[in-house]
Amino acid sequence: MTGETSAIEAHRSSLRAMLGEDLVLTGIEEIARYCRDWHGDVSSSAVAVVRPRSTADVVAAVKACRELGLSIVPQGGNTGLALGATPDAPEREVVITLERMNRIRTIDPDDFSAVVEAGCILSELKDAIAEKGMFFPLALGAQGSCRIGGNVSTNAGGINVLRYGMTRELVLGLEVVLADGSLFEGLSTLRKDNRGIDLKQLFIGAEGTLGIITAVSVKLSPYPDNVATALLGLASLDDAISLFRRARRDCCDLMSAFEFMPPLAFTLAREAMPDLPIPISGDYPAYVLMEISGSGLVDVDDLMGRFLEGVMTDGLVVDGTIASSQTQARNLWLIREGMNEGQAKRGSHMRSDVSVPLSRLAAFVAEAEEAIGKALPNCISVSYGHVGDGNVHLNVLPPNDMTGKARTDIIYAAKNALNEVVDRYNGSISAEHGIGRLKRPDFESRLPETHRKLLTAVKTAIDPNLLLNPGCQLNLSAIS
Amino acid sequence: MTGETSAIEAHRSSLRAMLGEDLVLTGIEEIARYCRDWHGDVSSSAVAVVRPRSTADVVAAVKACRELGLSIVPQGGNTGLALGATPDAPEREVVITLERMNRIRTIDPDDFSAVVEAGCILSELKDAIAEKGMFFPLALGAQGSCRIGGNVSTNAGGINVLRYGMTRELVLGLEVVLADGSLFEGLSTLRKDNRGIDLKQLFIGAEGTLGIITAVSVKLSPYPDNVATALLGLASLDDAISLFRRARRDCCDLMSAFEFMPPLAFTLAREAMPDLPIPISGDYPAYVLMEISGSGLVDVDDLMGRFLEGVMTDGLVVDGTIASSQTQARNLWLIREGMNEGQAKRGSHMRSDVSVPLSRLAAFVAEAEEAIGKALPNCISVSYGHVGDGNVHLNVLPPNDMTGKARTDIIYAAKNALNEVVDRYNGSISAEHGIGRLKRPDFESRLPETHRKLLTAVKTAIDPNLLLNPGCQLNLSAIS
């Protein structure tokens, strides 16, 4: 046994002694899935994985790690794709997973609010809320696996942001365990509360670097019983932007999704789901998947019908299909999901999550695809995303037969080519997934000095020993 | 000339020398209006008032104050009513007013965004945006005087929060001068940007204690051309809450205001505006002023008609009137404004701005009015506010003939009686106006230890010498 190994073993014994066997996992195999990112691209290990059942357990775990001089990597559903929730220093990091803290504390339709523990899976929360006639609008591909604490820690986005905002705008209150083991009790459900600086904002999007979120109170809306979904074929992405502007005015705040996709989406979707019905020709240069939704007295079918009649008469939309049942609507969304699965089937590729001012989205996509095409002529660009948020996922697929280092190199080159264009558009290299460890170098190299000073000041003021998620977002040294 | 006076005069000369005569006001009379709160209840003085014309001027002013060991009180329109923007240490404080920095830098309808300097008056910004067919939804009584930087610094609320959110939710980016004179350049218009901790959130609602906001980028909506406004008479405030719940579902996200008022509103409005038409009987126990609005293809008149038909059939609304013109709609809103002016005409009184969970609003108002009635039987309670936000302005009017200390004492007693009930409902003693210096004692006495520690850590990390707005929100001593 080397010195390092025996030190790790000593820490493991201490953790078991301090927290109890039930809370502490240390076997290499049993901790493996907590130490690997969602795609399985990156694997590491840890001193231990602690699985608290309560806020008090989290407090005890933080105090134990602090006492032993171990760092903490908080983890929710581990679906963030930015390496924000997985360890990278096996000899000194402990993963604290919130997966056992998955109780819904209250759902109060009269208060339009719910209070839920951090480890609750998003889709389970949404379903429980829907059963009470209410709606929690956060909607993203990973919702069957991601956990609400992670959604808050990464300020998750998704497809309904244009209407309901990012996770930040859905959070009413937080309960957070701080690095010194003290508890920030802020689980209010008040809609308006201007008692000084709003501390909870600090923890939203901090990716666990300032505290461990243990519970969340969220804002609910009435459940939108009526949903109209349409898939539209257009002459260009430029037209898709014009269509968005018009829809934003014509359909007002009732539009809940407006996604764009390239024609290649259908090919990719079919590769993943051969039987998926595709009720529109695949020959248009751009596609839009649009949703209008509402509850009560609002007739969204009528609104969608009148809207499409107008834009088709004006030639802004060339072809289109409206779902006439929930199944058909589900199938339209499956094209979008299938497109992603189809990309995964083609092997590892460059995934991105960038944003630009929404008025410049079409120009940005054209310029970025051209730059990547010039630099990497044998790759395929797939651009899709959320028009209303200026959020583009421009992915680059290397040739199918390219493997190993050649493939890794081309992915790296594609990312750099894209980010150069993002910089020219004053865009963001992370629109909705956060920085984590994956994007830290690209983040830090672009960070203005004043931002860095402020981020460092805030981090060291709240977590002076850099106990929490070190190496996530920033690479700092503890102040002594 | 005393030692103190000559020290102040020396500072004044230094400021003039460092910043130029044009930027520095020092005459007792010319600085008086900057040193007095909006109501004129509290007056003070200052070393000087600095009136920068540019961000560079603000940087220079901060550096000058820092060099001279003077503190800074940033000021916008000075309409916040919480003494957050007026000095209280005449011998060592300099007011920096943003009033000259009132340019609109850009309005971009295609990007649904605008960039504006902090000193722009809210109504001027709204009008300029409306001219481009767009809408900036922040709407409050002081909009003809308040300035956007102050709105952001206090996270202003107002009547449209239930649909569009607080100011925080309308801010896309900020430019801020920090206490060390460095510039935080964050004037992005991106809708989704998860590059690490969102620093701008710190400055929103900080009341100028962490930096001086010099410019803001904001989110715009399409202008709602179609507005339906109704004034409704109900059997109780309980029914008003039920009506809100139903309206939230039936009218979906198209409801833009839902205000409640007591029958006394009409008496008070008539005292201020004798000729104001009041198109409904004044005999119902509760009133609701409700607005639905939209643009494009959404028919809000039809929606309002069908909604009211349903709720009147069900007996939830007893009587009502729908405005049939913009003038009639304006007159309905004038009842609400007149109610406030009528209260002011009755002399100084206890004004409040509290919030409770919205499901408990009716119970809270009943209990609070009862508690005040018992403690102060000769006073009149006037409760009104924003149902959708759980935000109540419960004001207490002392007898007309009560003056001097007796009147001040009763106002103080009324505030304490109210806050006791707010505490029992886990409410907030400041829903939308902030803490300032006025509410600091009530804020600090209720502040949990963990909150205090975090607030202190953040403040001293960003402004270690407590240069900015000392005594606002918290009473701290500089770290040496």
Domain with residue A409: its CATH number is 3.30.70.2740
Q: Tell me whether residue A56 is in a domain.
A: yes
Which of the listed residues B292, B317, B345 is the one where a domain comes to its end?
A: B345
Give the model's pLDDT for residue B5. 81
B175 forms beta bridges with B185, B215
A302 touches B: beta carbon within 8 Å: no
Roughly what angle, to the nearest 10 degrees, separates helices B55-68 and B3-19?
150
Q: What is the CATH number of the domain that holds A273?
A: 3.30.70.2190
Give the model's pLDDT for residue A480. 44
Q: Tell me whether residue B475 is in a domain.
A: no
Residue type, position A83, single letter: L
Number of domains in chain A: 4
A444 touches B: beta carbon within 8 Å: no
ipTM above 0.95, yes or no: yes
A461 pLDDT above the threshold of 60: yes
Does residue A85 sit in the same domain as residue A126? no
Does residue B46 sit in the same domain as residue B153? no
Q: What is the Cα–Cα distance from A192 to A187, expressed in whole angstroms?
A: 14
In which band, very low, low, confident or very high, does the pLDDT at A4 lie, cut at 50, 70 and 90? confident
Size of interface A-B (CB pairs under 8 A): 288
Q: Tell me whether residue B199 is in a domain.
A: yes
Give the torsion through C-alpha atoms of A98, A102, A106, A109, to 10 deg: 110
Does residue B210 sit in the same domain as residue B232? no
Q: What is the Cα–Cα distance from B175 to B196, expressed in whole angstroms?
A: 18
Q: What residues of chain B lie within 8 A of the CB of A166, using their CB?
A: 192
Does residue A218 sit in the same domain as residue A112? yes
The terminus-to-terminus CA distance of chain B in angstroms comes to 31
B245 touches A: beta carbon within 8 Å: yes
Which of B151, B161, B192, B468 is the best substitution to test chain A (most A C-beta atoms within 10 A)? B192
Q: Tell me whether residue B418 is in a domain.
A: yes
Does residue A296 sit in the same domain as residue A366? no
Percentage helix, strand, coil for chain A under 3-state DSSP, each rounded to 5 = 40, 20, 40
Give the torsion through C-alpha atoms of B129, B131, B133, B137, to 10 deg: 40
Q: What is the CATH number of the domain that holds B44?
A: 3.30.43.10
Which of the listed residues B97, B122, B139 is the one where a domain comes to its end?
A: B97
In which band, very low, low, confident or very high, does the pLDDT at A478 lie, cut at 50, 70 and 90? low
Mind listing the pLDDT tens digit for each residue in B278-329?
999 989 999 999 999 999 999 999 999 999 999 999 999 999 999 999 999 9
B480 pLDDT above the threshold of 60: no
B450 touches A: beta carbon within 8 Å: yes
Mind listing the pLDDT tens digit for each residue in B354-394?
999 999 999 999 999 999 999 999 999 999 999 999 999 99
In which band, very low, low, confident or very high, does the pLDDT at A38 lie, cut at 50, 70 and 90? confident
User: How much is the average pLDDT of B35-57?
Assistant: 94
Nearest to B131 by CA among B158, B161, B105, B107: B107
Does residue A192 sit in the same domain as residue A138? yes
B114 forms beta bridges with B107, B218
- A446 to chain B: closest CA residue: B195
Does residue A264 sit in the same domain as residue A206? no
Tokens of B448: 């949990």
Does residue B64 sit in the same domain as residue B154? no
Does residue B316 sit in the same domain as residue B238? yes
Q: Judged by CB atoms within 8 Å, which residues 27-56 of B form the interface with A?
A: none
To the nearest whole Å, the CA of A301 is away from the closest chain B CA by: 12
Q: What is the CATH number of the domain that holds B111?
A: 3.30.465.10
B193 touches A: beta carbon within 8 Å: yes
User: How much is the average pLDDT of A64-86?
Assistant: 97
CB B103 within 8 A of CB B135: no
H/E element, A322:
strand A319-322
Q: Is B374 exposed, middle or buried (0-12, 13-18, 19+ CB in 10 A)?
A: exposed
Angle at B227 between CA B225 and CA B228, to 5 degrees: 160
Beta pairing, strands B212-219 & B113-117: antiparallel
B295 touches A: beta carbon within 8 Å: yes
Q: Tell me whether residue A324 is in a domain.
A: yes
B3 touches A: beta carbon within 8 Å: no
Does residue A249 sit in the same domain as residue A180? no
B460 pLDDT above the threshold of 90: yes
Task: State whether A451 and B248 contact (CB < 8 Å).
Answer: no
Mind listing the pLDDT tens digit for each residue in A349-373?
999 999 999 999 999 999 999 999 9
Domain that holds residue B141: 104-222
Q: Judged by CB atoms within 8 Å, which residues 94-123 of A form the interface with B?
A: 108, 110-113
A179 touches B: beta carbon within 8 Å: no
Which of the listed residues A82, A97, A112 is the one where a domain comes to its end?
A: A97
To the nearest whole Å, the CA of A47 is away from the closest chain B CA by: 26
Q: Tell me whether residue B467 is in a domain.
A: no
Select the residue of B192, B359, B448 nearest A355 (Cβ to Cβ).
Answer: B192
Q: What residues of chain B lie within 8 A of the CB of A448, using their CB?
A: 185
Give the model's pLDDT for residue B1. 55
Mind listing the pLDDT tens digit for each residue in A219-270?
999 999 999 999 999 999 999 999 999 999 999 999 999 999 999 999 999 9
Does residue B166 sit in the same domain as residue B259? no
- Lowest pLDDT segment from A318-332, B26-40, B408-422: B26-40
Mind listing the pLDDT tens digit for each residue in B177-228?
999 999 999 999 999 999 999 999 999 999 999 999 999 999 999 999 999 9
A135 pLDDT above the threshold of 60: yes
Give the model's pLDDT for residue A1. 55
Mean pLDDT of all residues belonging to chain B: 96
Q: Tell me whether residue B267 is in a domain.
A: yes
User: How much is the average pLDDT of B455-477?
Assistant: 96
Does residue A356 sit in the same domain as residue A339? no
Q: What is the Cα–Cα distance from A125 to A119, expressed in whole angstroms?
A: 10
Cβ-based neighbours of B179, under 8 Å, separated by 6 or more: B62, B66, B210, B211, B462, B463, B464, B465, B467, B468
To the nearest whole Å, the CA of A115 is away from the closest chain B CA by: 13
Q: Tell me whether residue A477 is in a domain.
A: no
Q: What residues of chain B lie within 8 A of the CB of A296, using their CB?
A: 249-252
A275 touches B: beta carbon within 8 Å: no
